[in-house]
Structure 1
Amino acid sequence: MPITIAELATALNAPFAGDGGIVVHGASEPQDAGATDLALAMDPRFAELIAKGEAQAAVLWDGADWQSLGLKAAILVKRARLAMAGVTASFDHGLGLEPGIHPTAVIHETAEIAEGAAIGPLVVIGKGARIGRNARIAPQVSIGAGVTIGDDALIHSGVKIGARATIGDRLIAQPGGVIGADGFSFVTQEKSAVEEARESLGETVEAAGQAWMRIASIGSVVIGDDVELGANVTIDQGTIRATRIGNGTKLDNQVHIGHNVVVGNHCLLCGQVGIAGSTVIGDFCVMGGQAGAADNLTIGQGAIIGAGTGVLSNVPKGKAMMGYPAVAMQTHVEMYKALRRLPRMLSKLKGKA
């Protein structure tokens, strides 16, 4: 929706200079901006690009000389990425769903749909499910029996939510995610080779091959408020107790959360992170892309796990870890430097031989 510079500045809680009545219809990189676009140049490095576009107004860094850039108005911000959050929210088009329930949706007669919800084509909602106020559910979403979803949910196409899941307010779920699949739980009649390897650390593995017997998942998934799930996220339901995702936590594309896992509040798990069953992750943890954690571990509050790190043992509170197996980040850097020196050291040793 079009917005004036003054209105946008109020939304960003930032000062503006110049003509606050200028109306902008969208945001753009400065060199691509049209006359009705807001140029985004929150770093001085991008200032020279403003002249290549046609923008009359821009979001600039705090203290910028906006008039020298040929602008008629500017919003001045101290934190570029924080301003980006506010700007993009102001111009977000959403799903474009019409209010109400599409005639092709299949909704069980016992399901409850709260006021203001928009239910798209070919959505399926099961027995006893409850959908909160102003939910927006895109086409071909499946919501199982007994599921509860809070207010203001935004669920994109193709998301599948299994039975009995409980989800808080303001969920954002990107396309293709699966919440509440069965956990990957199997057992053998007698002690398996895997169990023997764990006990002996691989010294003796003599157990005969056996068939795997399935352990059913009769737990559920509980997700807090303000959680965001990326495309193709998978969250397994618990075996007996629930798998839990805390308030404010954000999961990137293709993150996998195993059965019985507990992820704390306001965590950030980047693309392709995998968490094995029954591991507990404390509040405010960050895990970089393709990091993983083995089962039955505890990762302490505020820990930072670098990209590609393999966590095989407990991580203390507030620790930064990197590498495989995970070690303290500074230790990993020293180990990596030493590894790079090895060829030169070997050449010197051969020369002395």
Structure 2
Amino acid sequence: MDLPRVPEPAGSPPHRVAVLVRHGVLPIEAGIVHRLFAQARDADGRRLYEVVTCALRPGEVRTDTDFTLNVAHGPEALDTADTVILPAADEDYVERPHDPLAPDLAAAVTRIGPDTRVASICTGAFVLAAAGLLAGCRVTTHWKSAGFFRAMYPGIDLDPDVLYTDNGRVLTAAGVASGIDLSLHMIRTDHGAAVANEVARGTVVPPHRDGGQAQYVRRPVPAPEHSSTGRARAWALDHLHLRLRLEDLAAREAMSVRTFTRRFRDEVGLSPGRWLAEQRLDRARQLLEESGLPVDRVAERSGFGTAASLRQHMQAELGVSPSAYRRTFRGTSHAA
């Protein structure tokens, strides 16, 4: 079991954070680390962290944009780091067989000390997995890459629904902005909520976000017209506000319930009941995002019946309440 990290005593040297960037790095992810950790101060205004950027070789590093980074430090910066953070790079998104780490990257990773805290942002988790640093850990990565990650590393416990995971020494963040959540979490763990909250205020972000990745995932709706259960699904999508029985859906295709259920699962990959629940949830999300309807009316139109039922389903599936979801994706303008 990992012991809780103890804040550094007053007057000790700043905690050294090394950001290891690779060609194709997402600049925002490296910038997040610098922006947040650099703002953390003690009661006397002293910096609590020293952040350095390093690359596999000092010099120009290509980004995924039209500018480059001029990185002064090489992998030797990892030798003295207290925390190493690995942002994503565009090479992580290339689906390929179970490649080992490139020799220079593998050599750099071996410089990380056994007690050094290690974190990844987005698909940086692929590097930690290939290096064997995620064995026995619960991890996350960007939801779009979850299937690829599972195929490459089936023995690693992947949770694509959360914003970040903390296994003590090893931490992972889901996608770009989840680097903010993870950085604030590490600052909070190291120095308490007051310091982390002050950093959040300075960055104009919430100290903690409700829910996880699930609320950001758009599920594709299968095209109803291209299958033997398509007419029933198309009709159901037009009548989600009604009480829909399996018998009624099967009758639309002139099938027995048993045959309809089997074909439905073969074509959609879900049971009719689960599919209906997902479509109703998607309809509720759409109404919360695009309309000003009260929550009880959203519940009625999406087929959940009551606000309490809608609230229960959203909390179970997305980890947020209807009102919290609406604030995130619709909200009201606070611009001057």
Which structure dedicates a bigger proportion of its chain to helix?
2
If asked which structure has higher relative contact order (CA below 8 Å, sep 6+), I would say 2
**TM-score category (smaller protein):** under 0.3
Larger radius of gyration: 1
